[in-house]
Homo-oligomer: A and B are copies of this chain.
């Protein structure tokens, strides 16, 4: 029995988190999750899953988009300070337990329930799948439940748009526990990030590599400069001497997110609002701040990617640890279905 206690270590919470390996990570990930993970690893028992299988649910016909990004994502993690001696980093496709649990849980969730999931619903709309949605995509909340429960996670860092996924997981947990007649799986709680979502550089759509509106952690000096230069500001701020708007001005949103001197940013905002401060100047401040922050990350990332064997070794070790660790849950779930026969 494993109810809300962490038998694996004596750290207070078991955290499972992860990323779809469909592209290198960017500043949105940094603000939204990576920074938080770097702190959490000192307090809790944290596992990060590189979700290559989930990445394939809508990229099966372009699989290199996933496979070519697995080591990039691991390098991103290490470059920002995630420490593989404190955080377990593992690869989803190398954990058959996750596929096995997904098969069991699939029998406990109806198609109608999956179609009602608001997160999946809006993703289906965005991707314009219609009824041609791949089965693996519609059912990926079940696979996420397998990920979370395999580690018996108690805490899952999510954005508020992901809350329906955790509800789905906890529904499955309750069904399994009810069939078992005892609590063999933990219900998980969301850990909502206190950082608000970082907007894209164009201020319009979701940040993504394909949209060219994100600054990757490995961005070159030139890419950073270009990205800041093209950043959305106040379209009505035509002359330097005019008063400008700070709300919705992406340069200031980024300064709030990344500049360490909040007083200085406040002064800049006031100056901009009363007029006399040009976008060129605010962008220069932001660019310097981002260049300074990203330079060491980019350098560490490049060094890491120069030694792929080491990255593979780290991922292999974390995956091996995870493989052993998740066996017990599979055994318990199989027991519920009476299948520990041979």
**A residues with CB within 8 A of B:** 52-53, 56-61, 63-64, 66-68, 70-71, 91, 93-94, 96-97, 99-100, 102-104, 106-112, 114-115, 131-139, 142-143, 179, 312, 315-316, 319, 334, 336-339, 341-342
Contact in complex: B135, A114 (CB < 8 Å): yes
Write 12 A-B pairs (CB below 8 A) sorted by A numbering: A56-B337, A66-B337, A67-B337, A70-B341, A96-B100, A99-B100, A102-B103, A107-B137, A108-B134, A109-B135, A135-B138, A135-B139
A60 with B108: CB separation less than 8 A: yes
Smallest distance from the beta carbon of A86 to chain B beta carbons, Å? 20
Q: Is the CB of A111 within 8 A of B131?
A: yes
Complex interface: chain B residues within 8 A of A102 (CB): 99, 103
Contact of A68 among B56, B57, B135, B338 (CB under 8 A): B338
Chain B nearest Cβ from A186, distance in angstroms:
20
Contacts of A143 in B (CB 8 A): 103
Contacts of A179 in B (CB 8 A): 60-61, 63
Residues on B with C-beta less than 8 A from A106 are 57, 134-136, 139
In the complex, how many angstroms separate the beta carbon of A71 from the nearest chain B beta carbon? 7
Interface pair A342/B91, CB less than 8 Å apart: yes
Q: Given B68, B110, B312, which contacts A134 in the complex, CB threshold below 8 Å?
A: B110
Asked whether A103 and B341 contact (CB < 8 A) given A110-B135, A132-B110, the answer is: no
Q: Which residues of B contact A100 (CB under 8 A)?
A: 93, 96, 99
**Residues of the B chain whose Cβ atoms lie less than 8 Å from the Cβ of A341:** 67, 70-71, 91, 312, 315
Q: Which residues of B contact A52 (CB under 8 A)?
A: 339
Residues of B within 8 A of A97 (CB): 96
In the complex, the chain B residue whose C-beta lies closest to that of A90 is B342
Residues of B within 8 A of A61 (CB): 179
CB neighbours of A53 from chain B (8 A): 103
- B-side contacts of A107, CB under 8 Å: 56-60, 134-137
Which among B71, B104, B112, B134 is the interface contact of A131 at CB below 8 angstroms?
B112
Instruction: List B contacts of A71 (CB < 8 A).
Output: 341
A131 to chain B, nearest CB (A): 4
> Are A131's CB and B103's CB within 8 A?
no
Inter-subunit contact B312/A63 (CB<8 Å): no
Q: State the Cβ distance, A64 to closest chain B Cβ, in Å.
A: 6
Instruction: Please indicate the chain B residues that have their CB under 8 angstroms from the CB of A315 in the complex.
Output: 341-342
Q: Sort A-B residue pairs by CB-CB distance and give the 8 closest, nearest first.
A: A67-B338, A106-B136, A60-B107, A96-B96, A112-B131, A99-B99, A107-B136, A63-B337
